[in-house]
Amino acid sequence: MAIEDREVTVVVNGQERSAAVEPRKLLVHYLRDDLGLTGTHIGCDTSQCGACSIMVNGEAVKSCTMLAVQAEGSEITTVEGLGSIEHLHPMQQSFWEEHGLQCGYCTPGVIMAMLGLLKENPNPSEEEIREGMEGVICRCTGYQFIVSAVQKAAKLMAEAEEQKEETLVANLVREGTHNG
């Protein structure tokens, strides 16, 4: 007996998207084949390489370890949702500046996994970054440049956060002056 397709709806990179899929379809295939988001890569069939890492409800997840139907209703960010050519995300900017990639195949997954790491630990030591890289395989870089890129991204993201807070305080002061 054929198993019926199921409609799966997610918010991906801020947009609601739907597709009918076989219940056994993996999330990574749903993203790539049904939603056309091919920035998420597949590098193994053993859940070990991390090339398929994305954010699901704010947490880094290997999208080959989840079924599409399990993602129903969730908020997903893929590498396509991070920055643009004109305005790279600080993590992308840092990979660019620190030469954190060579062939680039692992890069979208590494970037998403490292964003997950910085979310949990915004100021990781080199050792913590290396520990966070467990489960993420890069065959080209020897990892050192990736570590440097993540260190730089942590710094840039902290600076951006600080700047945001300063702007917020300045706006509040300005509003207070106007109202007072």
> Rounded to an integer, what distance in angstroms lies between the CA atom of residue 134 and that of residue 136?
5
Q: Which residue of 39, 43, 116, 132 would you call a contact of ligand FES, by CB under 6 A? A: 43
Q: Which of residues 136-175 bind ligand FES (CB under 6 A)?
A: 138-141
Kindly state whether residue 71 participates in binding ligand FES, applying the rule CB under 6 A.
Answer: no
Supply the angle between the helices 107-120 and 90-97 in degrees, to the nearest 10: 120
Q: Which residue of 9, 24, 36, 44 would you call a contact of ligand FES, by CB under 6 A? A: 44
Q: Which residue of 38, 102, 121, 151 would you call a contact of ligand FES, by CB under 6 A? A: 102
Kindly state whether residue 49 participates in binding ligand FES, applying the rule CB under 6 A.
Answer: yes
Kindly state whether residue 95 participates in binding ligand FES, applying the rule CB under 6 A.
Answer: no
Question: Strands of 75-77's sheet, edge to edge?
Answer: 15-21, 6-12, 75-77, 53-56, 59-62
Kindly state whether residue 104 participates in binding ligand FES, applying the rule CB under 6 A.
Answer: yes
Structure tokens at 88: 């790279």
> Rounded to an integer, what distance in angstroms lies between the CA atom of residue 64 and that of residue 43?
10
Q: Which of residues 107-126 bind ligand FES (CB under 6 A)?
A: 107
> Rounded to an integer, what distance in angstroms lies between the CA atom of residue 136 and that of residue 110?
6
Applying CB under 6 A, the span of 81-89, 99-107, 123-131, 172-180 interacting with ligand FES comes to 99-107
Q: Which residue of 19, 37, 50, 148 would you call a contact of ligand FES, by CB under 6 A? A: 50
- Alpha carbon of 173 to those of 68, 137, 169, 178: distances in Å? 47, 48, 6, 9
Q: State how beta strands 75-77 and 53-56 pair.
A: antiparallel
Q: Which of residues 3-42 bind ligand FES (CB under 6 A)?
A: 42
> Rounded to an integer, what distance in angstroms lies between the CA atom of residue 68 and that of residue 70?
5
Kindly state whether residue 51 participates in binding ligand FES, applying the rule CB under 6 A.
Answer: yes
Q: For ligand FES, how many residues bind (rule: CB under 6 A)? A: 22
Binding site for ligand FES (CB under 6 A): 42-44, 47-52, 62, 64, 101-107, 138-141
